[in-house]
């Protein structure tokens, strides 16, 4: 009831949702009835949750904020939806995003722009901007997002909430509409580290339906949450504090590092020299995979089909021309270009080599660090319209986050102060593969 009131009050200004679920109260009531009947319930039973609109929800429209899937109602649930439903969580709706998760501001959504609840003239970040803004505004208690290059952590930072990008393979991608399959991960948003640990514990685990799912034992991150940072070894890579990162961001992150040090952590400056190639590497790999993944949207199998066409090829061409927005088309063209026979060695192959080197540098750093601490984003939330005309500037928003996806690592963004204009700032704690507990503990210790 409370969350519905918040939606009533704030949604017209914030615009976090693409689709609302009208049966929320009935579902909440069913949980109340079960509780009254003495049934043992999951700790998340009855908690309202919003789902990013690229996660397949059976019977609930799933659009990826694209005209291409504007009318698509999936006949199946993504694997992550099973534990969410079984726990008795109440699905409030589907959250707005950049089209097909391509963007850093939620402005490329076909439907509408989401506004940052802290300042309605600013973007919430992206691509999971609706998921982050809803938690910040109280329009959902928890949300799910997806992160290919920063799409959970950057909006969490800009909206002043906590967002976790899990280790690649720890959360099933089955039913997540693929953008760049080797980088995509689903993860949770919440107001606190505790909330995020609870939801991550619910959704993590091996899944036979996802060939890249990691087969291992997953422990409960919430039960083992411990804020003691005594003896924690923090690495601070100098490349993440260079030109292009706002002074107020550096100041806030340095203050957080000092606080952790006062509480018993040891801090050491480290170097990750290939960081300077990360944005280039990411946009080659991600676009290459996107160009292949998005080939399925041809007007035959799903969603939108152009109305007037002359034969099959014309139908494909018109459907894709009319169904995709500019940013998606830009990525498809970039992807087909870097994969084309004349340029494959110069771009895609080289990017894959740099990817390996970035992974090796992280692995070496984790020999004597437990966590690596950096800013999450180079600046606080920017104004709506400020960067949308300049794709390279927009891509730079991911300068601190893409390396984590390139290396398949887990990372959490937690709020760490405010900008001069009162907007939230965030810091990123990066862990070794499957070290979610370590980074959440450090984040909890800070929070």
Interacting residues with ligand GLN (CB under 6 A): 101-104, 127, 147-151, 179, 286, 398
Choice between 15 and 149, CB closer to ligand GLN: 149
- Bridge partner list, 19: 94
Rounded CA separation 124/132 (Å): 7
Choice between 149 and 299, CB closer to ligand GLN: 149
**Pick from 74, 289, 86: nearest CA to 181:** 289
* Torsional sign, CA 409, 412, 413, 417: negative
Of 66, 109, 127, 131, the catalytic one is: 127
Choice between 104 and 131, CB closer to ligand GLN: 104
The two tokens of residue 236 are 């601070």
Min dist CB 266 to ligand GLN, Å, is 32
- Per the annotation, the verdict on 127 as an active-site residue is yes
Rounded to 5 degrees, what are φ and ψ at 314?
Answer: -65, -35
Min dist CB 212 to ligand GLN, Å, is 17
**Pick from 293, 63, 336, 341: nearest CA to 182:** 293
| Cα distance from N-terminal residue to C-terminal residue, the chain | 28
Choice between 44 and 186, CB closer to ligand GLN: 186
Choice between 53 and 370, CB closer to ligand GLN: 53
Rounded CA separation 155/151 (Å): 7
Choice between 328 and 369, CB closer to ligand GLN: 328
Choice between 177 and 315, CB closer to ligand GLN: 177
Query: Which 3 state secondary structure label does DSSP give 95?
Result: strand
Min dist CB 325 to ligand GLN, Å, is 13
The total of other beta-carbon atoms located within 10 Å of residue 11's CB is 17
- Taking a C-beta distance cutoff of 8 angstroms, is the pair 62, 177 a contact? yes
Tally of CA atoms within 13 A in the half-sphere of 151 that contains its CB: 30
The total of other beta-carbon atoms located within 10 Å of residue 398's CB is 24
Rounded to 5 degrees, what are φ and ψ at 385?
Answer: 90, -15
Min dist CB 40 to ligand GLN, Å, is 37
Min dist CB 388 to ligand GLN, Å, is 12
**Pick from 42, 20, 22, 18: nearest CA to 31:** 42
Is the bond leading into 413 cis (omega within 30 degrees of zero)? no
The enclosing H or E element of 359 equals: helix 350-365
Of 65, 105, 131, 151, the catalytic one is: 151
Min dist CB 16 to ligand GLN, Å, is 17
Of 10, 52, 94, 165, the catalytic one is: 52
- Per the annotation, the verdict on 10 as an active-site residue is no
Min dist CB 281 to ligand GLN, Å, is 12
- How far does CA 342 lie from the centroid of its chain? 34
- Per the annotation, the verdict on 379 as an active-site residue is no
Active-site amino acid positions: 52, 127, 151
């Amino acid at each position: 009831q409370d969350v519905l009131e918040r939606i009533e009050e704030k949604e017209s200004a914030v615009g976090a949702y693409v689709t609302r679920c009208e049966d929320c109260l009935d579902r909440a009531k069913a949980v109340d009835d079960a509780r009254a009947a003495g049934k043992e319930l999951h700790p998340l039973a009855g908690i309202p949750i919003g789902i990013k609109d690229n996660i397949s929800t059976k019977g609930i429209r799933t659009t990826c904020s694209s005209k291409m899937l504007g009318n698509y109602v999936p006949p199946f649930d993504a694997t992550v939806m099973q534990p969410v439903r079984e726990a008795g969580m109440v699905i409030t709706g589907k959250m707005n995003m950049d089209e097909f998760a391509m963007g850093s501001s939620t402005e490329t959504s076909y439907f509408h722009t989401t506004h940052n609840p802290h300042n309605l003239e600013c973007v919430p970040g992206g691509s999971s901007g609706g998921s982050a803004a809803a938690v910040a505004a109280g329009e959902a208690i928890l949300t799910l997002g997806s992160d290919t290059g920063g799409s959970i952590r950057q909006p969490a930072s800009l909206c002043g909430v906590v967002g976790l990008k899990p280790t690649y393979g720890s959360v099933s991608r089955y039913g997540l509409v693929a953008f760049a399959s080797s980088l995509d991960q689903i993860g949770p948003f919440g107001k606190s580290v505790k909330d995020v640990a609870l939801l991550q514990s619910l959704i993590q685990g091996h899944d036979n339906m996802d060939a890249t799912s990691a087969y291992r034992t997953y422990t409960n991150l919430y039960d083992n949450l411990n804020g003691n940072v005594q003896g924690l070894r923090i690495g601070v890579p100098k490349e993440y504090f260079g030109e292009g990162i706002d002074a107020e961001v550096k100041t806030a992150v340095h203050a957080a590092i000092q606080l952790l040090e006062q509480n018993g952590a040891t801090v050491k400056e480290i170097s990750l020299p290939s960081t300077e190639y990360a944005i280039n590497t990411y946009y080659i790999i991600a676009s290459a995979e996107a160009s292949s993944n998005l080939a399925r949207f041809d007007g035959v199998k799903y969603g939108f089909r152009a109305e007037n066409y002359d034969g099959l090829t014309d139908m494909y061409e018109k459907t894709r021309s009319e169904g995709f927005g500019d940013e998606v088309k830009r990525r498809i063209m970039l992807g087909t270009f870097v994969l084309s026979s004349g340029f494959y060695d110069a771009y895609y192959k080289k990017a894959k080599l740099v990817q390996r080197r970035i992974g090796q540098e992280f692995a070496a750093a984790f020999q004597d660090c437990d966590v690596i601490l950096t800013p999450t984003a180079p600046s606080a939330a920017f104004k709506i319209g400020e960067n949308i005309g300049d794709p390279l500037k927009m891509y730079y928003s991911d300068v601190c986050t893409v390396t984590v996806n390139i290396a398949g690592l887990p990372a959490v963004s937690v709020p760490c102060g405010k900008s001069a204009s009162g907007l939230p700032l965030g810091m990123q704690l990066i862990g070794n593969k499957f070290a979610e507990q370590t980074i959440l503990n450090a984040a909890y210790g800070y929070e």
